[in-house]
């Protein structure tokens, strides 16, 4: 049985106070962090494939975080990678997703946010039991997971279980960019998202939009080259 002490996390961050802070937070939460300060070391350690997850800064001396991510991803498609991006730099988030990052955390981040992202990604990859789904609001729709339907006033639309899961995910990730990779991992539960046509995701999203968009507003916007975002 794996104990939490054995969950190793690699932290690639050149700024010493941030690196130490990250390692301290992770150790406090029961993980076993290893901090390295440049891209070369990050790539070398990352390629050993012994880390449950890698926190990867973008601006690094030598190899950039993007290059490190790409290098690791080529060898290890399942490696979990969270990029550390600057707040407001959507371009970094998009590039991160393009080179294979699973998720991102914007700097400066709160400890709570960071730990939440780390735990969510580990949980997702571990295929943990899904949380019970209770009714929730999505924009002006009332989503009823038990009866698989969306209700708005007099209008009632049937949903599939997968569509309900997609809406729940977008609600949870409200305002954040959700990559196709994340959707494939979490909704389709494919272990290796790179082998699946991302068109599968796009087609499902198009269908879902059509069902809910009877007033023509785009509830879920497409973020070019990256994925989708629900920003109400
Ligand atoms: Ca940096």
Average pLDDT over residues 141-160: 91
| Ligand 1 ion: nearby residues, β-carbon < 5 Å | 14, 57, 59
- How far is the centre of ligand 1, averaged over its atoms, from the C-alpha of 30 (Å)? 25
Q: Which residues contact 230 (CB under 8 A, 6 or more apart)?
A: 138, 170, 171, 173, 174, 175, 178, 219, 220, 221
Q: State yes or no: pLDDT of 48 exceeds 90.
A: yes
- How far is the centre of ligand 1, averaged over its atoms, from the C-alpha of 159 (Å)? 44
pLDDT digits (tens, 9 = 90+) for 126-149: 644 455 468 999 988 999 988 889
- How far is the centre of ligand 1, averaged over its atoms, from the C-alpha of 2 (Å)? 32
- How far is the centre of ligand 1, averaged over its atoms, from the C-alpha of 202 (Å)? 34
CA distance 141 to 150: 6
Nearest to 87 by CA among 64, 66, 113: 113
Helix or strand or coil: residue 144? strand
Location of structure tokens 């350690």? 45
Average pLDDT over residues 194-222: 78
Q: Which residues contact 147 (CB under 8 A, 6 or more apart)?
A: none
pTM reported for the whole predicted model: 0.76
Average pLDDT over residues 168-174: 91
Q: State yes or no: pLDDT of 124 exceeds 80.
A: no
Q: State yes or no: pLDDT of 1 exceeds 50.
A: no
pLDDT digits (tens, 9 = 90+) for 4-19: 558 999 999 999 999 9
CA distance 100 to 210: 29
Average pLDDT over residues 64-69: 97
Average pLDDT over residues 196-214: 82
Tokens representing 45? 């350690």
Nearest to 84 by CA among 67, 62, 107, 66: 107
Average pLDDT over residues 163-189: 88
- pLDDT for position 56: 98
Average pLDDT over residues 171-198: 80
Q: State yes or no: pLDDT of 85 exceeds 70.
A: yes
- Residue ranges and CATH numbers for the domains of the chain are 4-128 (3.40.50.2300), 132-230 (1.10.10.10)
- pLDDT for position 123: 81
Nearest to 101 by CA among 125, 81, 129: 81
Average pLDDT over residues 51-77: 95
Strand partners, 56: 12, 83
- How far is the centre of ligand 1, averaged over its atoms, from the C-alpha of 119 (Å)? 23
Least confident range from 89-93, 146-150, 217-221: namely: 217-221
CA distance 209 to 64: 37
Average pLDDT over residues 203-222: 80
In the sheet where 227-229 sits, what is the strand order? 178-179, 227-229, 221-223
């Amino acid at each position: 049985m794996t104990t939490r002490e054995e969950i190793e996390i690699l932290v690639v961050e050149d700024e010493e106070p941030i690196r130490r802070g990250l390692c301290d937070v992770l150790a406090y939460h029961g993980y076993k962090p290893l901090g390295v300060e440049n891209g070369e070391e990050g790539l070398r350690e990352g390629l050993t494939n012994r880390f449950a997850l890698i926190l990867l800064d973008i601006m690094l001396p030598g190899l950039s975080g993007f290059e490190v991510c790409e290098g690791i991803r080529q060898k290890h498609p399942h490696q979990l990678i969270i990029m550390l991006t600057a707040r407001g730099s959507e371009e970094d988030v998009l590039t991160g997703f393009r080179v294979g990052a699973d998720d991102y955390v914007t700097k400066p981040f709160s400890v709570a946010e960071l730990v939440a992202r780390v735990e969510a990604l580990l949980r997702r990859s571990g295929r943990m039991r899904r949380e019970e789904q209770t009714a929730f609001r999505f924009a002006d729709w009332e989503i009823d997971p038990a009866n698989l339907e969306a209700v708005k006033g007099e209008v009632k639309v049937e949903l599939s279980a997968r569509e309900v899961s997609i809406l729940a995910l977008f609600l949870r990730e409200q305002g954040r960019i959700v990559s196709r990779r994340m959707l494939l991992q979490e909704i389709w539960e494919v272990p290796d998202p790179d082998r699946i046509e991302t068109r599968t995701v796009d087609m499902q999203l198009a269908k879902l939009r059509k069902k809910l968009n009877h007033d023509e507003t785009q509830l879920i916007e497409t973020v070019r080259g990256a994925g989708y975002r629900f920003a109400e």
